[in-house]
Structure 1
């Protein structure tokens, strides 16, 4: 029986962005692509977006589908959710892999990040991205997704759901990956988490920026399979 692999997308994203990586990993894994509530056309929740809300939705999926020998691969925010699950529900997870995950949150960080979630600016400056978001989240309003995400990041800035000391308690084997061209996530915060985790490896991906569309699926799948 194949091991299970659950793939989690990033903020304002959808599982469709990770199909290329999923395809390469499907040879050796029972791959599951998951959309967080309100993303990828999923029904919008009646509660605000939060890491706890997303973690609870993932946990329900794991239980409902009886996923065994589970590896979770989380890109960006998906990696943060994976770590949150590892902290609070470790019995369900065998391994955690993150890519381009921002672990450090404070008010200044959140303020900087939400500037990139200005729907009007996106429409004016990068209309192709606006169109992609509209298609990705239909029938939901992509502008609503952005606003809900911004609200979540503000709350994370006020009270980071995972504190530095929490990572010391996560004993699940982990692989922490970062692109060497990532301008959103710092090497310093990534190394800090890598050093805090009791059983972790770290990989730096060459020529790799933050956007998942610019990540090399073959390289990511190779690193996931070899660890």
Structure 2
């Protein structure tokens, strides 16, 4: 039986964006893809967006589908959700791989990030991006996805769900990855998370920016292949 791989998308994204990666890895894994509540056309939840909400949705999916021998790949916010879930439920996940996950959150950081999520500015300055968001989240209103994501980020800025001291409680074997061209996530915050998780590994992907659509799928596939054993140094 193939091991399971659950792919988690990033903020304001959808599982559809990870379809090329799923195709590349389907020979190695039983692939699962999840849209967080309010994303990818799923109904907007009654409660505000939060890491806890998305982690709970992931937990319910894992239990519903009885996923075992499980690797989670989390892109950007998806990686944050995976690590948060691993802290809350030790032993649930066999391995976590993250790419481009933003770990450092404080109020100035949150304000900076939310400035890029103004729907009216996006419509005016990057209409092609607005069209893409509309397609990703149809039939839901993509503007609501952005507004609720902004509120979530501001909340994270006030109280980061994963604090520096929390990483030592994550026992899941973890590989933290960052693209060397990522303009959203710093090498410093990535190294701090890597050092905080006992036995974690880290990789920097060459020629790799933040947007998942611009990541070399062949390179990413190499790092996501199943491992028969995992022995932290």
Question: Residue 195 of structure 2 aligns with which residue?
Answer: 195
Counterpart check, 1:77 vs 2:77: yes
CA-based RMSD of the aligned residues comes to 0.8
TM-score scaled by length of structure 1: 0.99
Question: Residue 231 of structure 2 aligns with which residue?
Answer: none
Question: Quick one: distance in 2 between partners of 1:203 and 1:2?
Answer: 25
**4+ residue runs of structure 1 moved beyond 3 angstroms?**
none
User: Where do 1:93-112 residues align within 5 Å?
Assistant: 93-112=93-112
Question: Residue 121 of structure 1 aligns with which residue?
Answer: 121
Question: Residue 39 of structure 2 aligns with which residue?
Answer: 39
User: Where do 1:29-68 residues align within 5 Å?
Assistant: 29-68=29-68
Question: Quick one: distance in 2 between partners of 1:216 and 1:118?
Answer: 29
Q: How much does 1:15 deviate? A: 0.4
2:12 is paired with a residue of what secondary structure?
Answer: coil
Question: Residue 17 of structure 1 aligns with which residue?
Answer: 17
Unaligned runs of 5+ in 2: 228-233
Question: Quick one: distance in 2 between partners of 1:203 and 1:139?
Answer: 37
Query: Aligned residues, how many?
Result: 227
Question: Quick one: distance in 2 between partners of 1:212 and 1:111?
Answer: 23
Q: How much does 1:23 deviate? A: 0.8
1:203 is paired with a residue of what secondary structure?
Answer: strand
Unaligned runs of 5+ in 1: none
TM-score scaled by length of structure 2: 0.96
Question: Residue 6 of structure 2 aligns with which residue?
Answer: 6
Question: Quick one: distance in 1 between partners of 2:199 and 2:42?
Answer: 34
Question: Quick one: distance in 2 between partners of 1:113 and 1:172?
Answer: 29
Counterpart check, 1:205 vs 2:201: no
Q: How much does 1:190 deviate? A: 0.2
Q: How much does 1:226 deviate? A: 6.1
Question: Residue 223 of structure 2 aligns with which residue?
Answer: 223
Question: Quick one: distance in 1 between partners of 2:199 and 2:43?
Answer: 37
